[in-house]
Amino acid sequence: MARSSTLDVHVLSRTSTRNPAHVRTPPKLRSTAARTFSSLSIRNYRIYFAGQSLSLVGTWMQSIAQSWLVYTLTHSGVAVGGVVALQTLPILLFGPVGGTIADRFGKYRILFWTQSFAGLQALVLALLVLAGHVHLWEIYTVALALGIINMVDNPARQTFIIEMVGREALPNAVTLNAVMVNVARAIGPAIAGVLIAVVGTGWCFAINAVSYLFVISALIALDKSQLSPTDRVSHMRGQLLEGFRYVAHFPLLRTALIMMGIIGCLTYEFQVSLPLMAGDAFHGTSITYGLLTSFMGAGAVIGGLVIAGRRSRNPKFIVETAFVFGIAVLLGAVAPALWVEELVLIGIGACSVAFMSLGNSTLQLSSAPNMRGRVMSLWSVAFMGSSPIGAPIVGAMGNAFGARASLGIGGAAALVAAAYGWFAFRKLPQDQGPLQPGRVSPITPESEVEGALAGAVLEPLDGTPESSANSGE
């Protein structure tokens, strides 16, 4: 009897240890966690995600090292803005060409070559710096080369995600992709700040060159039979103009792109404003700059995980996010101490990733498959290609009025974008989801586009279809 009781107690003890009722994960929490990381259940995206995660740490190390290198060579905000501008100038001038290439050729093949050339660019910069004879014009030339690579890479990389995960998982995958970028932003700059102080900037560029091997290996490891490549667009005249007309005729696409153009031009210029804040406002070193960027990255990770777990994908949330983003950046501009700045940057990072991921997924889900590359190339123009205009302005503001002005102008720009979005979205239907151009054939002549709009299907981003009152269904 005693042995039986002892055995029963032992069994109950093992059972309660394995699955104790008092520590069970609540179903609501389990479902939230499942939604947050749902796209990682797809094998191809999981492999791609892992490769990109490792590579992006190197990318952020190079970004920090490049801005700090220019700052130490010149102590000029305009010079720092200049290198950022040159790196994004090709996107501003020829971004739609990159989108057309993405629509005409396979995204997988494009990414393989662009990532390889980006690794080569980092290696060239590493050799120049480690040789000890680097000049400003050489940094500018290599930055311009990376901009040409990114002109093609960005729209292909953005639209490759939907080919891996499909429409249903796209918003989650885009948000997790943004989280991944910002995890790297939290890790890479901190490592770079220490490396720059100990061994110099050259090794940051060398590590970035090696890091591209991870993403290239991930691309090779993908199961291509599980991809859903978009039908390629055949060569025909007027493809670039068709992309512009397409966006112009859909208020949701047009509003989101204009808002990103304003914010991308002046608010997202942290590669210019943060070195100035670290060196001038807080009299710090490369370690200070790395920490500021890392705190912003940590906030972006938190914000991204919150957005990834949200059920609602109402695009009008972009306006609210832009407003809070602007307030946070203005608070960063007036932060009286370094520790206050670091705390505010957590909020800035969260708003940054929320605005970017919501806008990205909205545009992709609201675009026809054979137009998606061109639409996302315009997103790249608005997000990155506006830097040749904004970066020198932000740098000049920092030189003329102090480092805090370089952040302040970004906060004001975000509030202007929020105001524009609020007025624009007031004109959209209140009881229906965003217009889905994916249900409309992208026809070039304006009269035919207007005719298609009359019969378009309206569909909320959560996937529940509704028919337009004029559709006749």
Residue 290 confidence (pLDDT) above 70: yes
Number of domains in the chain: 1
Taken in order 103, 105, 106, 110, is the CA torsion positive or negative? negative
Would you call 307 helix, strand, or coil by DSSP? Answer: helix
The pLDDT score that the predictor gives to residue 424 is 85
Residue 415: name the closest of 346, 334, 319 by CA: 319
Residue 111: pLDDT band by 50, 70, 90 thresholds?
very high
Would you call 435 helix, strand, or coil by DSSP? Answer: strand
Taken in order 211, 186, 262, 404, is the CA torsion positive or negative? negative
Question: Higher pLDDT residue, 331 or 250?
Answer: 331
**Residue 461 amino acid letter:** L
The pLDDT score that the predictor gives to residue 313 is 55
Residue 36: name the closest of 298, 303, 300 by CA: 303
User: pLDDT, tens digit, for every residue of 339-382?
Assistant: 999 999 999 988 988 888 788 777 877 777 777 777 877 887 77
For the domain that residue 158 is a member of, what is the CATH number? 1.20.1250.20
Most distant CA pair in the chain: distance in Å?
Answer: 90
Least confident of 253-267, 352-366, 428-442: 428-442
The answer to the question of residue 33 being in a domain is: no
Tokens of 86: 């040159």
The answer to the question of residue 227 being in a domain is: no
Strands (E), 148-257: none
| Residue bearing tokens 């190079």 | 62
The answer to the question of residue 37 being in a domain is: no
How many other CB atoms are there within 10 angstroms of residue 67's CB atom? 25
Q: How close are the terminal C-alpha atoms of the chain, in Å?
A: 75
Give φ, ψ of 163 to 5 degrees.
Answer: -70, -25
The answer to the question of residue 30 being in a domain is: no
Q: Which range scores top for mean pLDDT: 16-20, 86-90, 338-342, 359-363?
A: 338-342
Residue 464 confidence (pLDDT) above 80: no
For 237-266, give one letter per residue: b (16+ CB within 10 A) or e: eebeebbebbbebbebbebbbbbbbbbbbb
Residue 298 confidence (pLDDT) above 70: yes
Query: Rounded to whole angstroms, how far apart are CA atoms 437 and 233?
Result: 17
For 17-46, give one letter per residue: b (16+ CB within 10 A) or e: eeeeeeeeeeeeeeeeeeebebbbebebbe
Is residue 226 a contact partner of residue 43, using CB atoms and an 8 Å limit?
A: yes
The answer to the question of residue 438 being in a domain is: yes
Would you call 398 helix, strand, or coil by DSSP? Answer: helix
- Its domain, for residue 379, covers 43-220+238-458
Radius of gyration of the chain (CA): 24
Mean pLDDT of the chain: 77
The answer to the question of residue 469 being in a domain is: no
CA 253 vs CA 114, 312, 367: distances in Å: 27, 19, 8
pTM equals: 0.63
Which residues does residue 457 pair with via DSSP β-bridges, in sequence order? 467
Residue 180: pLDDT band by 50, 70, 90 thresholds?
confident
Query: Rounded to whole angstroms, how far apart are CA atoms 375 and 357?
Result: 15
The answer to the question of residue 28 being in a domain is: no
421 backbone φψ class: left, alpha, beta (φ>0; ψ -120 to 50): alpha
Rounded mean pLDDT of 99-127? 88
The answer to the question of residue 62 being in a domain is: yes
